[in-house]
Amino acid sequence: MYLALSILFSSLIFVVFKLYTKYKVQTIYAIIVNYFIACVVGLLYYQKPINAFEILQKSWFWGSILLGLLFILIFNLMAATSQKLGVSVASVATKMSLTIPVLFGVFFYREVLTVLEIIGILLALLAVYFSSLKENKIKAEKWAFALPILVFIGSGTIDTSIKYFQDAHMPEEEYALFSATVFASAGMFGLLFIGYKSVQQQIKINLKNVIGGVCLGIPNYFSIYFLLKALQHPTWNSASVFTINNVAIVMFSTLLGIVLFKERLTFKNWLGIGLAVFSIILVAFGPKLMSYI
C-alpha cells in the first residue's frame, strides 16, 4: 500500500509540472515554494512536540541538509537537460538511476537477487527507455550531453541516501521530521538562489507561482514519506522497492498523460509500458516464483 501511494503521489508531480506549462507558472519559483509547503506538511504530520535543538542533535541532520542541496542541484540539472535535450532524456536519466540504489543494496547490504529479479531489473531499464522515447531528433551542443549523466548520478545518489538514512539513522516515527528537514533545507538553498537572481534582476511575487508550489508541495512530501515507509517492508529488499517504484512511476505518469492530456504514444512507448508491467511482476513476485521452479 505504501509503495502504491508513493507511486501515485510521484506521478501526480508530473501532472502538476505539465499544468505549469498550461498556466504559465514559473517553475523555479514554484519549486522553491513547494519545498516550504512540503516542509510544513511534514511538521504537521509529525506527532511529537518539535524541538529545534533536538533536531540539530539527530544523527541524520547534516545528511538531510546535504540532501536538500542535492534536491536543488538535481532539479536545476533536470531543467537544463529538459531544455537542451528534451523531457524524455531527463526522464530516462532520472529513472534509470535506479541502478545505483539497486547496486548499493546488493553490495552494501548484501541483498540477494534471484535470477527473475535480475531479469526484471534489466527489463525495467528497457521499459524506462522505450516509454520515454520521442520521435524528435536531438540537436544540442556537445557539452549538453554530459547533463543526463550528472542527473543519473545525482538522482541515484538521492535514492541511495534516502535508503541509507532510513536504515541506519531513523526510527519510523522520525520519517515525517526527516522529510520536513530535507525539504526545509532545499527551500533555504532555493532562497539563496533567488537572492542571487534578485541581484541581477528584480523579482516580483506571482500568485500563480505560489499556488503552483502548494499544488506540488503536498504530493512531493508524500512521495518521499511513503517511499520511506515502503522501504520498511519486511519481505522486499530495497532493489525491488526502487525498481518497482521508478518503473511504475514512468508507466503510470505515461498513462495519465494519455488520459488527462491526450498524449499520443508510439509503438515503442507501448512496448515500454508492456515491459514495465512484466518487469514489475518479475521483481515483485520473482522470489515466490523461483520457489516453485
pLDDT-based confidence at residue 83 (cuts at 50, 70, 90): low
234-252 burial by CB neighbour count: b if 16+ within 10 A, else e?
eebbbbbbbbbbbbbbbbb
Domain count, the chain: 1
12-19 — which CB contacts under 8 Å span 24+ positions? 12/219, 13/216, 13/219, 13/220, 13/223, 14/249, 14/253, 14/256, 14/257, 15/253, 15/256, 15/260, 16/212, 16/215, 16/216, 16/219, 17/216, 18/257, 18/260, 18/261, 19/212, 19/215
The rounded distance, in Å, linking the Cα atoms of 222 and 2 is: 10
Residue-level length of the chain: 293
Task: Give residue 277's pLDDT band: very low, low, confident or very high (50, 70, 90).
Answer: confident
pLDDT-derived band at 215 (thresholds 50, 70, 90) equals very high
Q: Is the pLDDT of residue 107 over 90?
A: no
User: Do 21 and 183 contact (CB within 8 A), yes or no?
Assistant: no
Residue 286's pLDDT is 72
Residue 214, pLDDT score: 95
**Is residue 5 very low, low, confident or very high in pLDDT (cuts 50, 70, 90)?**
very high
Element (H, E) at 187: helix 175-200
CB 102 within 8 A of CB 112: no
The larger pLDDT score, comparing residue 272 to residue 88, is at: 272
**Most confident region among 140-149, 185-194, 276-285 by mean pLDDT:** 185-194
Instruction: Give the rounded percent of residues in the chain with a pLDDT score beyond 70.
Output: 89
Overall average pLDDT of the 161-170 stretch: 86
pLDDT of residue 186 exceeding 60, the answer is: yes
Please tell me the number of Cα atoms within 13 Å of 178 on its side-chain side: 29
pLDDT score, position 140 = 59
Structural domain of 151: 2-292
Mean pLDDT of 195-214: 82
